[in-house]
Copies of this chain bind each other. A is one copy, B any other.
Amino acid sequence: MLSKAKIQYIKALEQKKFRQERQEFILEGRKMVLELLKAPGPFRIKELYLQEDFPEPVQSSVAVYISAKEMERISLQSTPSGALAVVEIPKVPLAPPRKDNLYLALDGIRDPGNFGTILRLADWFDLAAVYASPDCVELYNPKTVQSTMGAILRVPVHYTPLAPLLKNCTLPVTGSVLQGGSSINTTFLPCDGIIVLGNESNGISPELLDHIPLKLYIPPYREGSESLNVATAAAIFCAVFRRNLPSLPR
C-alpha cells in the first residue's frame, strides 16, 4: 500500500519547484514506460509504479505493483494508463552542432503541447538534437512529457542561450520568419544546420535575428490568412529541408 507521504511525494512532481529541487520528473503511460525500460538512454528510473493488472512482464528492481485506486491517486492524467515512473532528470552535456546533422533551435516556445509536438517531429525527421532558449517551457512539465509521445527518450534537448550558439555555429543557420525573408518555395536550402523557430506570439527575438543569415518564410497561399502554428511551421521546415537529403527514406 502506498503511504500518504509517498503519494504526496510523487504528486509534488507536478510542480516545477519540486522537479527542480529534486531533479526528478514523472513519465507516465504504458507505452512510454515500456519504451523507457527498453531503451533508457540517459534516463535513470528511480521509482516505477505499475497497476496490478499490467499486461506485460517487467524486469525492474524498482517496480511496485499497485491497485487501480492507488494509481488514480498518484496519476497526473485524467485517465491513468497503468504505468508511472519517477525518473531522474539526466545531466546532458551541451553538444555543439555537428556537420551533416540537422537541429532545431526553439526561441521562447511557451506552450507545452507545441514543445512536445516539435520533439515528436525532431524524432520523426531524425534531428540530432533540439536547442531551447532558457525561457522555453520546461521539458519536464508533465504536459510536455506527455505530448512528446516518447520522443523525449530519443531526442536530446539542450537548454542554452541561443545567441552565442548561433553566433559560433559554423553550419548553415536559418530561421522561420513571418515576413522579410526568402520563400522556402524558391530558395535553395541546405540539408544540415540549425533552423530557428520563434515564440508563438512574437516570433524570433530581435537579438537573434542578426545571427541568422538565411531568414525563410512559408508563403501564405491566401491573402489575409493568419500565421501558422509554430509546430505546423516546424513540420513544414523539417519536411522541406529533409527532401534535400541525397538519399531519402521510401
Interface pair B124/A249, CB less than 8 Å apart: no
Determine if A219 is an interface residue (Cβ-Cβ < 8 Å): yes
Stretch of A13-21, A62-70, A147-155 that contacts chain B: A147-155
Cα distance A149–B200 in the bound complex, in angstroms: 12
Count identical subunits in the complex.
2
Chain B residues positioned under 8 Å from A91 (CB to CB): none
B-side contacts of A250, CB under 8 Å:
183, 185-186, 219
Question: Considering the complex, which residues of chain A in the window 225-250 have a beta carbon less than 8 Å from any beta carbon of chain B?
Answer: 225-229, 231-236, 239-240, 242-243, 248-250
Interface residues on chain A, number (Cβ under 8 Å): 39
At the interface, yes or no: A224 with Cβ under 8 Å from chain B? yes
Look across to chain B and name the residue whose beta carbon is closest to the beta carbon of A223.
Answer: B126
- Closest Cβ neighbor of A121 among chain B residues: B232
Q: Are B113 and A186 in contact (CB under 8 A)?
A: no
Provide the bound-state CA to CA distance between A249 and B224, in Å.
14
Contact status of A239 and B218, CB under 8 A, knowing A231-B231, A232-B234: yes
* Whole-angstrom CA separation of A116 from B124 in the bound complex: 23
A228: chain B residues within 8 A (beta carbon): 120-121, 124, 235
On A, residues with C-beta under 8 Å from B are 113, 117, 120-121, 123-126, 149-151, 154, 183, 185-186, 218-222, 224-229, 231-236, 239-240, 242-243, 248-250
